[in-house]
A and B are shown apart, each in its own frame.
Chain A
Amino acid sequence: MKKTLLLAALFLLSRCPLHAQTPVPDTKKQAVKTEKTAKADKKKENPKPGTYLKVILIHGDFKIYSYGYEFNDLNFEIENHWSKQHVGLAGFSIGYRKEDFSAAEYGHFFNSKVFWKAEKKGFYFKPGIGGEWGKPSPRFEQTRFNYKGKELVSYERIYLKRNAWMPIGVQNTGTLNPFVELGIGQKVGPAIFEGGARIGYDKFTVHTFQFQNGNLIFQGLNGEYKFVPTLYFGLGLKMF
């Protein structure tokens, strides 16, 4: 999986334009000036506006609190590239992400983001920022039990903080967390290929329990935000 993402990233990077800027002869100064003015006027226009339906594979492979995580999620997005920039922004997207395909009842997220876009010779660099709300799977919940013989001495549990309203199941057990995205892409005909990194910012809690003769004698609680880094590779098709 790592290799696939790496190859996809290399493919995109290999096609990036890296030409040095050609020196401008003095005789053409006036013409260049005119061209610059035209470019400045065009600056606020997105060269490839349109609405794309995107399918994105998200791959996670990282450690949090020394627990290793490796997973693949699927994200479906409708991404709108505006014809003109608004407040510096180039477009927005709304999407749906599914994590853990073994269960239909959880692992559903809706996300939305806005993005900026710098474009050159068909390639674009696209940083974005957004938020995601949904019903998580228990992928981030972890426990380390510590036994002395048959006697439970202590355990440490780590879990993802639930912080959002949820209409299905028990209320207020959803999550709402921000993320940033850095993508590089290319448009080929009606399709776009895009790869990059998506980094979530989620709150985790570490809770320790200590026992003596089977009785709970102490608890420790510590919560903090952690970055959740993932890579993604997506394919989009222009709808309008």
Chain B
Amino acid sequence: MTRRESLVLLSGTLLSGCNSKFFSPTAPSITPESGLIRVDTPEGEIGWSPYLVVQPDATVLEGYKKALMEMKARGNVRGVRIPLNSFRDPVVEMVSSLGLEMIGIISNEELLGPNPKAVIDHYVATFPDMRVLQIGNEVSTLPNTKKVTVEQYMDAFKKIYDHVQSRYPSLILMTQSTFGSGYQGSNELKRMVDLGLNPNNFSNQKIIVGINVYTEVAFNEYVSTRNEFLSGYRFWVMESGTLNPAEHISKVRNFYPRLATALSAERIYWYALWATDDDPEHAGYSLIKHPRFQNQMTYSPLGQALVGVQGGIVK
């Protein structure tokens, strides 16, 4: 064999590396052990986690109600995550009336107040039906909100945790959900570990770690971070999704089984049932469009599969 022939053979072997199917894993199959439920879609069967993010906007109440009722009737929604106002707003009342489990988020701003314990007392009294409270969300990264450093956050979280253990021991606290793209979220989670997030300070029976996961990098980093530093804690993915409605179904089909299998996420919340109609940074995540006017309301392809709609008409 000449050097030239060898080179050709070597190049051929190298080029075969470009065949991504040969060298890439396939998505895990949907089995009962995956913890996901099966949903039929035009793109085939997908594994779905029946949880959603709902924004507290009372102007779209009827649209929300229609979509959630249809999803619930098909077993495709069991619970929602909702940012809390200081009172029981109409969206909370509507969700509660449908018998869906709610997880409330206490806003980042309130964590910096002078008395976070009083904040908890107020929310527990106002929302006695909530078993899990999420304390903050993307505290250092959420746009258009006052930023909270992770040091400030852990200080407030510790105070709240101690208070809850003494006053409301059956209440489960969820950590802030860290950022869902790149390395930022997992680095912040690791910083929380460095600042005391461990079973000696926070019982793994009393708290759940919340994370947002949108990208492949964030996913893998969270897997590593959980394995190495937080293996004893339960993990819930409090936001996942994609901005392109045409990719909603494929995102769930390819990503959810991996979140469940590799990250052991007990739940995955889709962001969001509705995330505005016109904000280019958020609107595409929505499962429903134009919920203000029921006769104009439409669904993304995933939304259609979840409510059983074809061509805009409920079956």
Q: At the interface, yes or no: A137 with Cβ under 8 Å from chain B? A: yes
**B219 — which chain A residues lie within 8 A by C-beta?**
138
**In the docked arrangement, what's the CA distance between A161 and B226, Å?**
11
**In the docked arrangement, what's the CA distance between A209 and B205, Å?**
10
**B263 — which chain A residues lie within 8 A by C-beta?**
138, 141
State whether A162 touches B10 (Cβ < 8 A). no
**In the docked arrangement, what's the CA distance between A173 and B176, Å?**
22
State whether B205 touches A139 (Cβ < 8 A). no
**In the docked arrangement, what's the CA distance between A217 and B205, Å?**
7
State whether A102 touches B225 (Cβ < 8 A). no
State whether B78 touches A150 (Cβ < 8 A). yes
- Interface stretch (choices A71-79, A87-95, A194-202): A71-79
State whether A173 touches B221 (Cβ < 8 A). yes
- What is the CB-to-nearest-CB distance from B48 to chain A, in angstroms, rounded to a whole number? 14
Instruction: Provide the A147-172 mask, 1 if CB < 8 A to any CB of B, else 0.
Output: 10010100101011110000011111
Q: Name the residue of chain B whose CB is nearest to the CB of A175.
A: B224
State whether A55 touches B13 (Cβ < 8 A). yes
Given contacts A100-B23, A102-B24, A189-B1, contact A170 B9 (CB under 8 A): no
Given contacts A171-B190, A188-B1, contact A141 B227 (CB under 8 A): yes
Q: Place the interface of chain A in its size category.
A: 35 or more
Interface of B is mostly: helix
CB-CB contacts below 8 Å: A92-112 with B: 98, 100-103, 105-106
**A207 — which chain B residues lie within 8 A by C-beta?**
231-232
**In the docked arrangement, what's the CA distance between A134 and B261, Å?**
22
Q: At the interface, yes or no: A191 with Cβ under 8 Å from chain B? A: yes
**B162 — which chain A residues lie within 8 A by C-beta?**
none
**A141 — which chain B residues lie within 8 A by C-beta?**
223, 227, 261-264
Given contacts A170-B225, A237-B6, contact A190 B1 (CB under 8 A): yes
**A221 — which chain B residues lie within 8 A by C-beta?**
231-232
Residue from B20, B32, B231 in contact with A147 in the complex, judged by beta carbons closer than 8 Å: B32
Q: At the interface, yes or no: A214 with Cβ under 8 Å from chain B? A: yes
**A73 — which chain B residues lie within 8 A by C-beta?**
23
**A219 — which chain B residues lie within 8 A by C-beta?**
204, 232
Q: Name the residue of chain A whose CB is nearest to the CB of B265.
A: A143
Given contacts A72-B23, A145-B34, A219-B232, contact A138 B223 (CB under 8 A): yes
Q: Name the residue of chain A whose CB is nearest to the CB of B267.
A: A152
State whether A214 touches B131 (Cβ < 8 A). yes
Q: Across the A-B interface, how many residue pairs have beta carbons closer than 8 Å?
A: 147
CB-CB contacts below 8 Å: A7-41 with B: none
Q: Name the residue of chain B whose CB is nearest to the CB of A174.
A: B224
- What is the CB-to-nearest-CB distance from B194 to chain A, in angstroms, rounded to a whole number? 10
Interface size on B, residues (CB 8 A): 51
Q: Name the residue of chain A whose CB is nearest to the CB of B11.
A: A55
**A173 — which chain B residues lie within 8 A by C-beta?**
221, 224-225, 227-228
Given contacts A102-B25, A138-B223, A145-B260, contact A205 B231 (CB under 8 A): yes
State whether A105 touches B225 (Cβ < 8 A). no
**A190 — which chain B residues lie within 8 A by C-beta?**
1-3, 6
State whether A55 touches B260 (Cβ < 8 A). no
Q: At the interface, yes or no: A118 with Cβ under 8 Å from chain B? A: no
**In the docked arrangement, what's the CA distance between A21 and B159, Å?**
83
Q: Name the residue of chain A whose CB is nearest to the CB of B221.
A: A169
Q: At the interface, yes or no: B258 with Cβ under 8 Å from chain A? A: yes
State whether B6 touches A142 (Cβ < 8 A). no
CB-CB contacts below 8 Å: A205-235 with B: 205, 207, 209, 214-217, 219, 221, 235
**A71 — which chain B residues lie within 8 A by C-beta?**
25
Residue from A136, A143, A214, A217 in contact with B261 in the complex, judged by beta carbons closer than 8 Å: A143
Residue from A102, A145, A172, A188 in contact with B20 in the complex, judged by beta carbons closer than 8 Å: A102
- What is the CB-to-nearest-CB distance from B279 to chain A, in angstroms, rounded to a whole number? 28
State whether A146 touches B25 (Cβ < 8 A). no
CB-CB contacts below 8 Å: A52-91 with B: 53, 55, 57, 71-74
Q: Can you list 25 pairs linking A and B with CB atoms under 8 Å apart?
A: A55-B13, A72-B23, A73-B23, A74-B23, A100-B25, A102-B25, A102-B216, A105-B220, A138-B219, A138-B223, A143-B33, A143-B260, A145-B260, A155-B35, A159-B231, A162-B227, A162-B228, A170-B186, A170-B228, A171-B190, A173-B228, A207-B232, A215-B205, A221-B231, A235-B10
Q: Knowing that A102-B24, A191-B9 are A-B contacts, what are 15 other residue pairs whose CB atoms are under 8 Å apart, sorted by A's residue number?
A: A57-B13, A101-B17, A103-B220, A143-B260, A145-B266, A159-B223, A161-B227, A170-B228, A171-B190, A173-B227, A189-B3, A190-B6, A191-B3, A215-B172, A237-B10
